[in-house]
Amino acid sequence: MRNFPQKITIIGVGLIGGSIALGLKRRLGSKITVLGLCSDIKRAKLAQDRGIIDQALSRLIQIPKSTNLVILATPVSAIIKIIPQLKTILSKDCLIMDTGSTKDTIIKQAELNPPNFSFIATHPMAGNDFSGFENADPFLFQNKPWIICFAKNTDNKSLEIANQLIELLGAKKMIMEASLHDKLTAFSSHLPLILGSILVSVNVQQPCWDQIAKIASNGFRDTSRLASHNPKVKTDIVFSNKTNIIPALQKTKIEINRVIELLQSQKANNLFNYFNQAKKERDKWFLKYFR
C-alpha cells in the first residue's frame, strides 16, 4: 500500500480496536508497528502479550511523535474528550481517525481544532456478541460496510489512508453526511440494540420467568442477542444519538399498536399479510446484502 502509515496507535484496544490491529498485522506484518492504549494499562499489556499490539501505552502523552495514524476506538463520549488533547501531542502530519457509532457530535468537536489538524470520521458497521480484545477477529470487517463522513479538516491524503485501511480489512467503503449517518444507524443499528434489551426485560418481569427460561430456545436466543452487548458501550451509543433514536422508538410504538389492532380485529388474514410483507422485505434485504 503506497504511503500507508507505518506507525499506528490505537486508543481503545477492545473488540473493534483489537480487530483493526489484527487485521492490519495480518495483511502488512512487520511493515507496520501497532501501539495500543487502554485506560487500564494491565489490559494494554495483556493485549501486547497476546500479540494483538506491539507496544502497550498507558497515557496519551506516551504516543510517539513519529506516529502517522491514531485510531480512536473508544466510546463516543471518550472520543469527544480525547480529540482536544491530541492536538498538543501529535505532529501536524499525523492523521486522526475515529470509529465511533455516531458521527455528528464527534465531527463538531474535531472541527474546533486548527486547520492543520487532520481528521477523518468513520464507522465500521461490524461487531459480535461479546466485547473486549479477547474476541477480536482479523476478519471482523470482511464485506461489512465501513462508513466515512467528512469533516472540514479532512483532506485528500486523509481520505486515501482511510480508503487503504478499509481495503486492507476487506470492508466496503461508503461515504455519507454525518447527520444522515446518525439518522440511518438509529434505525438499522441502535434500535435493535434497545429492542434486544426490551425483549429480555419483558420476559424477566414475568412471575413465571424461571419456567420461560427453561423452554426458551433459538428464537429467544437470536432475537435477544444484542442484550448481551456491553451495557456501558450501549448506553454511550444510544445516549449520543438520542435525537434520532427517540423518533425511531416512537415509530416502533406505533407499529406495536398496529399489531395489537390486527389481533383485536380477529381477522387472521390481515395478520398474515402483515407477517408476509415483513418476510418479503427481510428476505429481499438478506439476499441482496448477505449473499
Where do the structural domains in the chain lie, given as residue ranges?
7-176, 181-289
For the domain made up of 181-289, give the CATH fold: 6-phosphogluconate dehydrogenase C-terminal fold (1.10.3660)
| Mean pLDDT across 85-93 | 85
Average pLDDT score, the chain: 93
| Mean pLDDT across 122-133 | 87
Residue 155 pLDDT grade (very low, low, confident, very high; cuts 50, 70, 90): confident
Which pTM value belongs to this model?
0.91
Q: What is the pLDDT of residue 260?
A: 96
List, in sequence order, every residue forming a beta bridge with 121; answer none if it has no partner.
Answer: 98, 149
| Mean pLDDT across 235-245 | 95
Q: What is the pLDDT of residue 215?
A: 97
Q: What is the pLDDT of residue 116?
A: 63
CATH superfamily of 7-176: NAD(P)-binding Rossmann-like Domain (3.40.50.720)
Give the type of residue at 73. Answer: A
In angstroms, how far is the first alpha carbon of the chain from the final one?
29
Give the type of residue at 91. Answer: S
Q: Is the pLDDT of residue 1 over 70?
A: no
